[in-house]
């Protein structure tokens, strides 16, 4: 009895060996980019994570680019991966979304966002949703509808500031409230605060093992995600009933994203709308708030830049009857140095350090081949901090954008919002929020760091202590 089992085992091992030999032969014929796959199973994941948990993760990229060039092979997060620090290759990857490459994200993120989230949608449905989102966040909508709420809700949050605050937490509250308002027309209240607390738990599960059995953090995140979905489902169902009443001639239509989703001619299911809202709330909560925090941190560490920014905004404030008078679109358009600060914060901080994609077929790139099924990582961070593209690239220098505005820079070397069919649909709103926030902060407060804090980049870009500062009103109401 034992002998047949032994024969079966030998046969199985032979088949596996043949498969490995054939696969290795195929990979040699394809001419992979040079690199190192590291240890079995874990590859170079530990080196990557340990680098990104420091203030200076660049050596992971720098050493490999120096040895292998800007396109190299590695093995991270359980998969062989072609890593690109080449701006032309990055743009090629983004522009060929759905043709040569598909989006690819860890299972924990996919499960928590939902299969109908904008991040995971593909094909015509993604194009439709992305187009709708872009149209609802263009400059005309912001100018005529959203700016007044952005300014009002930022002032509402700043009214509660005194003495010592954790700036990153305050910024996250601001961006969450703004996103809820834009999506569903809710002002800050107990319901929005309960929803935000559940979101914090959801986000904590993004970079964990996607197993409720082995990861308590992931288990809490799934539970929180269920509660968030239930709360949003109630809102969607109620708004569907309101929309039906309005179509019969009663009630007033709300001018928000949910109204646009419910009015779509082709129609979206409740599940699709809820997943969509979940993903947009996550995006608004996490990314913009981090940029707001780091802009203040970099300005605090660069007194000349902070002084010039204050001068620009004091000029705008001087035209108002008081410091609480609403900002207008013309005010936003008269903030040139503010835009330099925002560009430089986006470039240095790299909130979105890059994107993962998966090759749909064998893809020839610059004399190499990315094999079908392999993961690719287009690194924006590597390009933004490359000395070949930016002088003294790793220093915060907003004046570089006065001499070289965005319009004159190749799209290949400045991509803080991604590109191609998955260009971040909220990029214009993010700029307006940052501009209004900086205006209100520098005209109302002076501040100093409450304690030393530093940047870390894993699992997301953030400050280690949520950037505690001591604030003082400037008495210029």
| pLDDT tens track for 377-400 | 999 999 999 999 999 999 999 999
Structure tokens of 272? 């699709």
Is residue 5's pLDDT more than 70? no
- Identify the residue with better confidence: 325 or 53: 325
Is residue 246's pLDDT more than 80? no
* Phi/psi-derived region of residue 367, left when phi > 0, alpha when psi is between -120 and 50, beta in every other case: left
Q: Which phi and psi angles does 449 have, rounded to 5°?
A: -60, 135
What pLDDT does residue 324 have? 79
Cβ pair 209, 322 in contact under 8 A: no
Structure tokens of 29? 């014929």
User: What pTM does this model have?
Assistant: 0.88
What pLDDT does residue 247 have? 65
State how far the Cα of 281 lies from the Cα of 113, in Å rounded to an integer: 10
- Greatest mean pLDDT range, 10-19, 97-106, 290-299: 290-299
> 467 to each of 44, 267, 283, 293, how far by Cα in Å?
31, 43, 20, 7
Q: Where are the domains of the chain?
A: 33-66, 79-473
What pLDDT does residue 24 have? 47
State how far the Cα of 332 lies from the Cα of 275, in Å rounded to an integer: 33
What pLDDT does residue 18 have? 46
Q: Is 424 annotated as a binding residue?
A: yes
For the four alpha carbons of 405, 411, 416 and 422, in that order, the dihedral sign comes to positive
- Per-chain mean pLDDT for the chain: 87
- Confidence tier at 423 by pLDDT (50, 70, 90): confident
Identify the CATH class of 79-473.
mainly alpha
Report the alpha-carbon angle 168-200-159, nearest 5. 40
State how far the Cα of 75 lies from the Cα of 46, in Å rounded to an integer: 10
pLDDT tens digit string along 425-454? 888 999 999 999 999 999 999 999 999 998
Centre a 10 Å sphere on the Cβ of residue 316 and count the other Cβ atoms it contains.
Answer: 18
Centre a 10 Å sphere on the Cβ of residue 168 and count the other Cβ atoms it contains.
Answer: 22
Look at 218-232, 236-250, 272-286, 376-390 and tell me which has the smallest mean pLDDT. 236-250
Exposure string of 262-296, with b = 16+ CB inside 10 Å and e = fewer, is beeeeebeeebbbbbbbbbbbbbbbbbbbbbbbbb
Q: Which phi and psi angles does 355 have, rounded to 5°?
A: -135, 145
- Confidence tier at 49 by pLDDT (50, 70, 90): confident
Centre a 10 Å sphere on the Cβ of residue 324 and count the other Cβ atoms it contains.
Answer: 13
* Phi/psi-derived region of residue 470, left when phi > 0, alpha when psi is between -120 and 50, beta in every other case: beta
Is residue 3's pLDDT more than 50? yes
Is residue 252's pLDDT more than 80? no
What pLDDT does residue 22 have? 46
CA 279 to chain centre: 11
Is residue 239's pLDDT more than 60? yes
What pLDDT does residue 6 have? 57
Please compute the mean of the pLDDT values over residues 457-474 and round it to a whole number: 87
What pLDDT does residue 51 have? 79
First to last CA, the chain: 90
Look at 61-70, 207-216, 429-438, 448-457 and tell me which has the smallest mean pLDDT. 207-216
What pLDDT does residue 21 have? 44
Closest CA to 361 of 369, 372, 350: 372
Is residue 407's pLDDT more than 80? no
Query: Can you give the length of the chain in residues?
Result: 477
- Confidence tier at 186 by pLDDT (50, 70, 90): very high
Cβ pair 30, 435 in contact under 8 A: no
What pLDDT does residue 23 have? 45
Centre a 10 Å sphere on the Cβ of residue 385 and count the other Cβ atoms it contains.
Answer: 20
Is residue 187's pLDDT more than 70? yes
């Amino acid at each position: 009895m034992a002998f047949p089992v032994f024969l079966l085992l030998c046969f199985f091992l032979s088949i596996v060996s043949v498969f490995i030999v054939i696969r290795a032969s195929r990979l040699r014929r394809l001419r992979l980019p040079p690199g190192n796959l590291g240890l079995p199973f874990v590859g170079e994941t530990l080196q990557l994570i340990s680098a990104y948990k420091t203030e200076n993760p660049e050596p992971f990229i720098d050493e490999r680019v120096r040895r292998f060039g800007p396109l190299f092979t590695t093995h991270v997060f359980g998969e062989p991966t072609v890593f690109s620090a080449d701006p032309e290759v990055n743009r090629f990857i983004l522009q060929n979304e759905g043709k040569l490459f598909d989006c690819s994200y860890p299972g924990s993120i996919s499960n928590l966002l939902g299969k109908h989230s904008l991040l995971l949608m593909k094909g015509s449905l993604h194009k439709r949703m992305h187009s709708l989102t872009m149209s609802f966040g263009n400059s005309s909508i912001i100018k005529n509808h959203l700016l007044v709420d952005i300014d009002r809700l930022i002032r509402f949050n700043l009214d509660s500031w005194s003495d010592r605050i954790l700036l990153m937490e305050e910024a996250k509250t601001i961006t969450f409230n703004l996103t809820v308002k834009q999506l569903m027309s809710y002002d800050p209240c107990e319901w929005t605060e309960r929803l935000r607390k559940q979101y914090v738990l959801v986000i904590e599960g993004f970079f964990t093992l996607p197993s409720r059995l082995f990861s308590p953090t992931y288990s809490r995140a799934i539970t929180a995600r269920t509660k968030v979905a239930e709360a949003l489902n109630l809102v969607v169902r109620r708004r569907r009933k309101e929309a039906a009443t309005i179509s019969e001639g009663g009630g007033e239509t709300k001018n928000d994203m949910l109204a646009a989703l419910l009015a779509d001619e082709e129609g979206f299911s409740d599940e699709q709308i809820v997943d969509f809202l979940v993903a947009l709330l996550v995006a608004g909560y996490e990314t913009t708030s981090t940029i707001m925090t780091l802009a203040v941190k970099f300005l605090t560490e660069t007194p000349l830049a902070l002084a010039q920014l204050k001068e620009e905004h004091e000029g705008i404030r001087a035209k108002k009857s008081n410091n609480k008078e609403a900002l207008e679109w013309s005010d936003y358009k008269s903030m040139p140095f503010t835009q330099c600060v925002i560009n430089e914060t986006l470039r240095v901080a790299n909130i979105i350090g890059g994107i993962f994609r998966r090759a749909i077929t064998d893809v020839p790139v610059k004399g190499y081949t990315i094999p079908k099924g392999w993961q690719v990582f287009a690194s924006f961070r590597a390009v933004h901090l490359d000395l070949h593209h930016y002088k003294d690239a790793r220093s915060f220098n907003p004046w570089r954008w006065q001499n070289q505005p965005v319009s004159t820079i190749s799209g290949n070397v400045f991509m803080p919002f991604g590109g191609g069919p998955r260009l971040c649909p909220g990029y214009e709103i993010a700029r307006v929020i940052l501009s209004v926030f900086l205006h209100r902060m520098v005209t109302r407060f002076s501040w100093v760091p409450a304690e030393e804090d530093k940047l870390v980049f894993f699992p997301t870009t953030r400050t280690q202590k949520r950037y505690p500062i001591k604030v003082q009103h400037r008495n210029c109401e």
